[in-house]
Amino acid sequence: MWNISLTKADKRKCRELIHVGLERECEKYVREIQRLASKPIPQSELNEPYREENGFSVEGPWHKQYIALYRKTANFDKHIAQRYDGMTGGHYLDSVLGLYCEGIISDDEMALLSDEPREFLLTYKKHILEDEQVEKRGTPIMVSPSTSQSVRHIVCDDNEDVPADR
């Protein structure tokens, strides 16, 4: 954990920022689902007859669209649960840091916090941005609250984070 103690006022402001972040993430997700759901299916795909390959039926266009929406929803649900479920005051700063580094919360909104946590978050984000050069080469930087340092991870295709030193 971090060596920063939050006042009751800062904890309340963190909860406000976390609420704003959750609302923004949900809005972005819902808009993406609306866009995907309204994506037209070409008439040629709709008119394809039933067929099988290697003894298995080939998914139709509506089922493919359903599966894409289902997977997107399942992944988003995992993300939201990981970031927001069961959060206690000791993890508020971690969540705000994640929202801030991802650009979900702005610099202006960080002004709500008192000097110590705000300066910590600004400094940490600057550190993360400096390390983005590594991310562009394929090893994203993930925040490790337990060590208060950034940890290089390789992101696999199945969204599983693997430490880069493995």
Q: What is the pLDDT of residues 33-43, one digit of tens each?
A: 999 999 998 88
* Per-residue model confidence (pLDDT) at position 18: 96
Average pLDDT over every residue of 42-58 = 84
Q: What is the C-alpha R_g of the chain? A: 21
**Phi, psi (deg, nearest 5) at residue 29:** -65, -50
Residue 130 pLDDT level (bands cut at 50, 70, 90): confident
Q: How far is CA 88 from the centre of its chain?
A: 19
User: Using CA atoms, how far apart are residues 85 and 82, in angstroms rounded to an integer?
Assistant: 6
Query: Tens digits of per-residue pLDDT, 70-96?
Result: 999 999 999 999 999 988 888 899 899
Contacts 24+ apart (CB under 8 A), 61-69: 65/36, 65/37, 65/39, 65/41, 68/36, 69/33, 69/36, 69/37
More confident residue, 85 or 134: 85
- Low-confidence winner among 75-79, 88-92, 99-103, 112-116 (lowest mean pLDDT): 88-92
In this prediction the pTM is: 0.70
